[in-house]
Structure 1
Amino acid sequence: MQEALLSVKDLKVSFRTGSQWSPVVHGISFDIKAGETVAIVGESGSGKSVTALSLMRLLPPLNSKIEGNAVFNGASLTQINDGAMRQIRGNEIAMIFQEPMTSLNPSLTIGFQLAEVLMTHRSMSREKAEAEAVHLMERVRIPSAATRVKDYPHRLSGGMRQRVMIAMALACKPKLLIADEPTTALDVTIQAQILDLIKELQKEEGMAVLFITHDMGVVAEIADRTIVMLHGNIVETGDTADIFAAPEHPYTRALLSAVPKLGSMKGESAPLKFPEIDRSTGLPVEPAEEDHSSAKQETSTAEPRTVLEVRNLRKYFDLPKSLFRQPAGRVHAVENVSFAIKAGETLSLVGESGCGKSTTGRSIIRLNEPTSGEILLNGENILGISQSQFRDKRRQMQLIFQDPFASLNPRMKIGEAVAEPMIVHGLASASQARERAKELLNQVGLNPAMYDRYPHEFSGGQRQRICIARTLALDPQIIIADEAVSALDVSIKAQVVNLMLELQDKLDLAFLFISHDMAVVERISHRVAVMYLGEIVEIGARESIFSNPQHPYTKRLLSAVPVPDPATRGSKPKLKVNELKSPVRAMDYQPPVRQMLEAGPDHYVQQWGDEWH
C-alpha cells in the first residue's frame, strides 16, 4: 500500500478572542498520497481554509494555536522550526490563493516576480531565472509568454493572473500543491481551463493536490477523494464517486441537492427556487408554503408592460492621450446592444469577464454615461434628459453590486444605510424612514432589531440582503443585479436567489441579472442574452438558449460548465486556451453591420463569420 505523502492526525486550530481560545477546527485527520487529488468541501466558516493555512504555518502565531500533528514527507509540519518550515514552504509545498490580484505585487512585472521566486528558492542567476520564467509561463499556457513577462498584473485578465500564480507555485516543482478556492471568481470557460491545466501538470510532475472549494461541480471534475467539513469537523470522507452516488451524511446530501445542474429546468416555464440548507445544522430547509394571501399583488391576464427598453446602446472609452495629445485608441466596451425587459421578468446577461455586461448595466443607470443609443424607461428616453432630471428617474432603477461589504459604509449602521435613500430623495422624514427601514429588513428576512448593528457584524449573505433592502427603499421597478451571487456559498446563494424570486413575485419587479454562472442563470431567468466582445450574439427565451444554443460562443460557454457527476469526468472536449479578444479599436474604426437571424420563436442569433469555424 502506498505511503501517505501528507498525514494529518487530530489537527486542532484555535483563535484567541480576548483572554479565551475559540476552537475552529476540532481534531480532524486525513491522508494524501503522491499524485492524488483530495478535495476539502464545505461552506465559509467550515474550517477548510484555516486547515490549509495551518498546514502551511501561515496563521498569525500570537493569535492562533495549532495542536495535533501533520507529517509531510517524514517531517512534522507542526513541530519543525521556522527556518526548516521556510525551506518546505515554496520548495516542497506550494499554495494558490483565491484572489490572484491580492497575491501579486501590482508595482512589479510578472516576469520579475516569477524570477524572484526562482532566485530565492532555486539559487538561479538573474539571467537564468528570467529565461525560466518565460518557460514556466509557456507551461501554464499563457500566449505570447516572451512579451507578457514584461506586463504588470493589471494588464492580465483574472484567468491569466491565476495562471501566473500557478506558474509561481510550480516554479520549485513542489510535491504538494494546496489550491484554496482558485476558481471561485472565474468565468466558467477560464475555470475549465485552469482545472484542465492543474490536472495536466499534476500528471506530468506526479504532484499531490489538496483542492479546497465549495463548488461540488469542481469536486466532481477533479477530485479522487473528497472530505466534507461542517463547523470545523469532518462529517464524511471517501472516494468522490461513492460520495456523489450515495452520500451518507445529511449535510452532504443537502450540499449536493443545492447544486444547480444544467438541464434541470427542462420543461419548466418559470424560474424555480433553490433547495436551501440551514447553516447552523447543515440540514435541508423544508420549503415554505407559497403565499397566496391578499397581501400578494393580484396577477393580471393583461400583457405585462415593458419597463425597460435598450436600443442600439454603445459605450466607448478613449485610451490615454498619446504624445501628440490624440487618444491612442478607443475601447468599444458596448457595441450596438438592444433588448427589452417586462414587469415581473428576469433577463440574464451572460458572458466572460471583459465582454461588456457590467458596463451595459452601469450605462443603463448612467453611472457610465453612454456614448450613444436610447434607454427607454416606461417609454421615456432617459438619455435625453439632464442629470438633475434623471435623479428622480434613477429611483425607479436600482443596482445591486457583487461585493456587499464594499457597497456598505462600514461606519454607518445598517438600518441607517437602508433609511438614507428615502431621506435623501425626500420620500420620508427621519422617523418614517426608520420605521420603513425596519419593515424592509423584515421583508428580506432580517430581524428589525438588527437596525443598529454595523456591516462587519453580518455574514456575506446577510450583507447582500441588506443591500437588497436598500434597493427596495425607493420602490424601484427594475433592479440590475451585477454578479450579485457569484462569490457566495451554495446555501447563501440559494437564500439570496430565492429572496429575489419572492420579491419579484410579490412586487412585480423586473430584473437584469448579470452573471457568468450559467447554472444559476438557467434557474432564475425568463430570457437570456449572451454577450461577446461588447455585442449580444444570441438572445431568446431561457429554454431556447439552453436546450437549443445556436451561436458557437453560447455552445462554448455551456460546454465549460462543470457537471456535478464524477461519472462524466473526461467526457467533455478540452477548451482551447485563448483570451477574450481585445475590444480596443483605432479612433476611426467603424463597426461592421451585424445581422440577427431568427432561430425560433423569441430566439435570435447573430450571424457569425469564419473566426468561429
Structure 2
Amino acid sequence: MQETLLSVKDLKISFSTGGHWAPVVHGISFEIKAGETLAIVGESGSGKSVTALSLMRLLPPLNSRIEGTIRFNDTSLTQMNDSAIRHIRGNEIAMIFQEPMTSLNPSLTISFQLAEVLMTHRGMSREQAEAEAVHLMERVRIPSAATRAKDYPHRLSGGMRQRVMIAMALACKPKLLIADEPTTALDVTIQAQILDLIKDLQKEEGMAVLFITHDMGVVAEIADRTIVMLHGNIVESGNTEVIFAQPEHPYTRALLSAVPKLGSMKGENAPLKFPEIDRTTGLPVEQPVSESEAITESKAAQPPTVLEVRNLRKYFDLPNGLFRKPAGRVHAVENVSFSIAAGETLSLVGESGCGKSTTGRAIIRLTEPTSGEVLLNGRNILNISQAEFRDTRRQIQLIFQDPFASLNPRMKIGEAVAEPMIVHGIAGAAQARQKARELLEQVGINPATYDRYPHEFSGGQRQRICIARTLALDPQLIIADEAVSALDVSIKAQVVNLMLELQEKLGLAFLFISHDMAVVERISHRVAVMYLGEIVEIGSRADIFGNPQHPYTKRLLSAVPVPDPATRGTKAKLHVGELKSPVRPVDYQPPVRIMQEVSSGHFVQQWGDEWDLRKAI
C-alpha cells in the first residue's frame, strides 16, 4: 500500500480586506499518496490556486491567514520556519506556476535561471548546471535548446516560456509536483508529451502530482483521483473514472456537459454556442435557444471581405559579434496568405512557436512585417504612416495571450477598460465609465470591482477584463490570441458565446489564434494550420476536422486529450524528437511551395519524404 505523502485537514484560508478577514477556502481536506496524481478542478476563483500556494507557504503572511494542518512526509509544513521551508521548496515540493512570464526574471537568461536551481538544490558547479539546463530544455522539446538557453524570457513564445517553467520544476526530481495549469499555454502536441513526461517521471521517481486545471480532457488523461471545487468548498471527490461516469453533484454534471468534445460538430454548418454554467449556483444556465441550434450565418449571400493577407513575411535578425551583424534569421512567418469576411471566424492553429501570434501582431503592426500586404476593407494598411494607422487601429483590436502583461498593474481595471474610449474620443469620462461597467458585466466581472487592480484578480478574470477592453472600441476585426486558453470551461463558454453573439449582431470578423482544437472546431467557419511559419492546410471547419490531409494536421488532431478516462492509455505516445528550428542563414531562400486544392476551398501544401511521421517534427 502506498504511503501518504501529503495530508491536508480542515484547511481554511482567509485574506484581510477592508479591516476584516474574508474566507476564501472553507475547511477542505484531502490526501495524496506517493506516485499518485490528484486533480483539482473548478471555476476560476474557486480556491484551487490559493490552496496550492498555501501548501508551498507562498501566500503573503501579512494579509493572509492559514488554519488547519498541512503535513508532508509526516512533517508539519505550517510549523516550519522560513529556512526549513526554503529547503522543501523546489527540492522536495516543486511548483509549476500558471503565468510563466511573471515567474521568470526578465533580466536573466533562461540558462542562468535553470542553472541557479540546480546549483542551489543539487550542488552542481556552474558548468555542470548549465549543461544540465540545456538537457532539461531538450526534454521539454524546446528547439535549438543550446542556443535558446542564452535568450531572455521575452524572446520566447508563451508556450516556450511555460516549457522552461516545467523544466525548472522537474530539475530536482521532487517528491511532489504541484502543477497549476501547467499545460494551459501549450499546444496539444507539446501538452501530450509533457503529460507523458510527467507520467514517466512518476514511474521512475515515485513522484506524486497535484494537478490544478480546467481542462477535463487532461484530468481524464492523467488523474487517479479528482476533487471538484466550487466557492472554496469541495463539492465532490473520488476516483476519476467514477466521477466522469457517474457525477453526483449538479455542478460536476454541469462542468462535464460544458466540456467541448472533438468531433461534436459533425453535421453542423455554422458555429455552435456552448452550454453555460451559472457561476453563483454552479447549475446549467437555461439557454434562450436550443443548445443544438447553431449561430445563424450572415444573411448576406456574399459578405464583404474585411481582411486580406497576401504573402506576409516576418523575419527576426539574430545579431552576433561586436558590430551586431546578423548571423542568421528567424523565419517566423513565411509567405502567409488568407482572407476573412465580415461575420466569419478563421482559426489559426499550430504548435507554440509556429508563427501564429507573430502573424496576428504583424497584421496589427505591433511588429512591422518584413514584406507582404495586409488589406483592411481593401486598403493596404502597411503603406500608411503610424499616425494614419492610429485611427485605423480602432477597427482592428487584439486580445493578448498574457493578460497580466497586457494590463497596467498601477491602473484600476475599470479605468483600463474605459481608457480606449476616452483616448479615441468615442465617449466622455462619465459615459466611458458607465460603458466600462456594462462591458465588465458582459464578460462576467462584477462592476463593483471597477476600482480594483489587476493583481487582485485570478488569471482567468484578468483575461475577461482584457476582452472587455477590446470590445470598448466596437472594432470590425478582433484578433484573439489564445484569448480563452486561460479560462475555465464555464467562463470559456460565456466568453465564446459572447463573441458569437457579437459576431451575429455586428458582423464582426474574428482571427482566432488557439491551440484548443475542440474550441476551434466549435466556433470556426474556416481553419488554417501553421507549421514553422507556413500555412500547410486551410479549409472549412468540416474539411479540416472531418477530412484532414496534411500529416501535421493529422498529428495535431490525434494529440487532443479525450475527456473520458476509459480511453486512457489507448493512444500511442507521440514521437519525441527535436523540434525543427525556424532559424535560417542570412542568405536563405525559402523553397517554392505548392498549395493543392483537394476540394472546393480546401488547400493543402504538398509535402515530401520529410513528413514521414517518424522523422517529422
Global fold match (TM > 0.5): yes
The whole-number CA distance in structure 1 between the counterparts of 2:378 and 2:199 is: 53
CA distance in 1, matches of 2:114, 2:443: 47
Distance 1:414 1:58 in 2: 25
Answer whether contact 1:15 1:21 (CA < 8 A) is retained: yes
Provide the rounded CA distance (Å) in 2 between the counterparts of 1:147 and 1:405: 28
State whether residues 331 and 582 of structure 2, in contact with CA within 8 Å, keep that contact through their aligned partners in structure 1: yes
- The verdict on how the C-alpha distance between 1:60 and 1:272 changes in structure 2, with shifts beyond 3 A counting, is same
Amino acid at match of 2:536: V
For 1:368 and 1:127, locate their aligned partners in 2 and report how far apart those are by CA, in whole Å.
36
User: Would you say the 8 A contact 2:595–2:604 is kept in 1?
Assistant: yes
Q: CA deviation at 1:298?
A: 11
Q: Aligned in 2, Cα 1:395/1:172: closer, same or farther, shift over 3 Å?
A: closer
- Cα distance, 1:440–1:146 mapped onto 2, change above 3 Å: closer
One-letter amino acid of the structure 1 residue matched with residue 352 of structure 2:
S
Q: What residue is the counterpart of 2:96 in the other structure?
A: 96
Contact 2:141 2:578 in 1 (8 A): no
Q: Secondary structure at the match of 1:11?
A: strand
Paired residue for 2:516?
Answer: 517
Equivalent-residue separation in structure 2 for 1:415 and 1:536 (angstroms): 39
Q: CA deviation at 1:454?
A: 6.5
For residues 97-146 of structure 1, what are the alpha-carbon distances to aligned partners after superposition, in whole Å with 9 as ceiling and x for unaligned? 23344444455555555554455445556676667666666766777777
Residue 558 (structure 1) aligns with: 557
Q: Secondary structure of 2:186's partner? A: coil
Kindly indicate whether the alpha-carbon contact (under 8 Å) linking 2:443 and 2:468 is maintained by their aligned counterparts in 1. yes
Deviation at 1:164, TM superposition (A): 4.9
Question: Is 1:353 matched with 2:352?
Answer: yes
1:174 partner SS:
coil
Tell me how far apart the structure 1 counterparts of residues 278 and 216 of structure 2 sit (CA, whole Å). 18
Aligned pair in 2 of structure 1 residues 336, 70: CA closer, same or farther (>3 Å)? same
* 1:68–1:369 Cα change, 3 Å: closer
- Using the TM superposition, give the Cα deviation of residue 239 of structure 1 relative to its aligned residue in structure 2, in angstroms: 0.6
Deviations 1:238-275 (A, max 9, x none): 11000011111111111111111111111110101111
Corresponding residue pairs, total? 608
The 3 A distance-change label for structure 1 pair 442 and 89 is closer
| AA in 2 matched with 1:338 | S
1:331-410 paired onto structure 2 within 5 Å: 331-404=330-403, 406-409=405-408
1:136-215 to structure 2, matched below 5 A, reads: 162=162, 164-215=164-215
Matches within 5 A, 1:358-507: 358-404=357-403, 406-409=405-408, 420-422=419-421, 424-425=423-424, 464=463, 467-468=466-467, 470-507=469-506
Q: Deviation string for 1:310-357 (max 9, x for gaps)?
A: 221222233336545643233322211111111111111111222222
Quick one: distance in 2 between partners of 1:442 and 1:19? 27
Offset at residue 600 of structure 1 (A): 1.6
Comparing 412-421 with 20-29, greater Cα deviation is found at 412-421
Query: Structure 1 residues 62 and 586 mapped into 2: Cα distance closer, same or farther (>3 Å)?
Result: same
* Partners of 1:594 and 1:516 in 2: CA distance: 24
Partners of 2:444 and 2:232 lie apart in 1 by: 27
| Range that drifts further, 395-404 or 262-271 | 395-404
- Taking a change above 3 Å as real, the CA distance of residues 411 and 40 of structure 1, as seen in their structure-2 partners, is closer
Residue matched to 2:220: 220
* CA–CA distance in structure 1, aligned partners of residues 125 and 413 of structure 2: 55
- Equivalent residue number for residue 317 of structure 1: 316
**SS of equivalent residue, structure 1 residue 581:** coil
Distance in 1 (CA, whole Å) between partners of 2:470 and 2:116 is: 47
Contact (CA 8 Å) 1:526, 1:542: kept in 2 or not? yes
Q: Is 1:73 aligned to residue 73 of structure 2?
A: yes
Q: Distance in 1 between matches of 2:407 and 2:162?
A: 28
Alignment of 1:528-567 (within 5 A): 528-567=527-566
Q: Secondary structure at the match of 1:194?
A: helix
Per the alignment, residue 24 of structure 1 pairs with 24
Q: Evaluate the alpha carbon distance shift between residue 530 and residue 11 of structure 1 in structure 2; reply closer, same or farther with a 3 A threshold.
A: same
Partner of 2:615: none
The answer for unaligned runs of 5 or more in structure 1 is 291-295
Conserved 8 A contact 1:354-1:580: no
Q: CA deviation at 1:434?
A: 6.6
Alignment match, 1:293: none
Q: 1:68 and 1:507 mapped to 2: Cα distance?
A: 52
- Report the AA paired with residue 66 of structure 1: I
Calculate the TM-score normalised by the size of structure 2.
0.87
Cα distance change on mapping 1:450 and 1:602 into 2, 3 Å: same
Distance 1:519 1:298 in 2: 20
- Which position in structure 2 is the counterpart of 1:13? 13
Question: Structure 1 length normalisation: TM-score?
Answer: 0.88
Measured after TM superposition, the shift of residue 512 of structure 1 is: 1.2
Give, in angstroms, the shift of residue 53 of structure 1: 2.2
CA distance, structure 1, for counterparts of residue 139 and residue 436 of structure 2: 54
What do the CA deviations read for 1:575-608 (whole angstroms, capped 9, x no partner)? 2334543322223222111000112222110011
Q: What is the aligned partner in structure 2 of residue 574 from structure 1? A: 573
Larger mean CA deviation between 189-198 and 52-61 belongs to 52-61
User: What secondary structure sits across from 1:327 in the alignment?
Assistant: strand
Contact 2:421 2:427 in 1 (8 A): yes
User: Which residue matches 1:265?
Assistant: 265
Q: Compared with structure 1, are the counterparts of its residues 145 and 393 closer, same or farther at alpha carbon in structure 2 (3 Å cutoff)? A: closer
Return the alpha-carbon distance in structure 2 between the equivalents of residues 521 and 171 of structure 1: 34
CA distance in 2 between partners of 1:512 and 1:87 (Å): 46
Alpha-carbon displacement from aligned partner over 1:451-509 (angstroms, at most 9, x marks no partner): 77776777766665555555445443222222221212222111111100000111111
Distance in 2, matches of 1:414 and 1:83, equals 37
Give SS of 2:326's match: coil
How far has the Cα of 1:279 moved from its partner? Answer: 1.5
Distance in 2, matches of 1:122 and 1:299, equals 61
Query: CA, structure 1 residues 451+356, in 2 after alignment: closer, same or farther (shift >3 Å)?
Result: same
Give 1:557 shift: 1.4
Q: Distance in 2 between matches of 1:61 and 1:90?
A: 20
Matched-pair contact (CA < 8 Å) for 1:226–1:237:
yes
Q: Following TM superposition, by how much is the alpha carbon of 1:360 offset from its aligned partner in structure 2, in angstroms?
A: 1.7
Q: Could you tell me how far 1:387 is from its partner in structure 2? A: 3.6
Mean Cα deviation higher: 540-549 or 104-113: 104-113
Q: Distance in 1 between matches of 2:297 and 2:522?
A: 24
Correspondence for 1:60: 60
Separation in 2, partners of 1:335, 1:215: 32
Compare CA radii of gyration and give the structure with the larger one: 1
Q: Which amino acid aligns with 1:346?
A: T
